[in-house]
Homo-oligomer: A and B are copies of this chain.
Amino acid sequence: MHESLTIGQLSARSGVAPSALRYYERLGLIRAERTGGNQRRYARTELRRVAFVRISQQVGVSLEEIREALDSLPSSRTPTPDDWAALSRAWRDRLDEKIRLLGKLRDDLDGCIGCGCLSLQRCTLYNPEDALAAEGPGARLMLARPGADAASD
């Protein structure tokens, strides 16, 4: 039907606000051609990119990481289903790992809080290396954990 989509159309079809789409473009997550009058026109394949971005976000991946992942797609040609499949396999591993960690967290929570030992002992619950999902935003420079020993209470 239409060769390309306006930003409004892409927004409506993806459910992502135009302002967010422009933001994504600045970050290099999606691309757009321009009309003579400087308006964005999106190839329909961009829809897939937007979908990938949003889905990945739901899994807790930052836009920067998503950008890196998308950079692995061939830029010279339109990505094939196989290209996307490779990408999503990598993402699948991420998901598996995240699920594994959440399951561990749940089991530990049962065993730990239940028994009253909830105090960051060897509880694994509190292992920063496990760096699960949901690393909030904000300045995160003071990461060094100096003496962090465990309490008995």
**Could you tell me which A residues sit within 8 Å of B by CB distance?**
12-15, 17, 19, 44-45, 47-48, 51-52, 54-55, 57-61, 81, 84-85, 87-88, 91-92, 95-96, 98-99, 102-103, 105-106, 109-110, 113-116, 118-120, 123, 125-126, 128, 130, 132-134, 136-137, 142, 145-151, 153
Knowing that A51-B120, A58-B132, A99-B106 touch, tell me 14 more A-B residue pairs with CB under 8 angstroms.
A12-B148, A14-B148, A45-B153, A47-B119, A48-B153, A51-B118, A51-B123, A57-B134, A59-B133, A87-B113, A91-B109, A96-B106, A102-B102, A133-B133
Stoichiometry, as copies per complex, reads 2
29 contacts between A and B (CB under 8 A): A12-B147, A13-B120, A13-B148, A13-B151, A15-B120, A15-B148, A19-B142, A44-B151, A47-B151, A48-B118, A51-B125, A52-B113, A58-B132, A58-B134, A59-B102, A59-B105, A59-B134, A60-B60, A60-B134, A81-B115, A84-B114, A84-B116, A84-B118, A85-B113, A87-B113, A92-B106, A99-B103, A99-B106, A134-B134
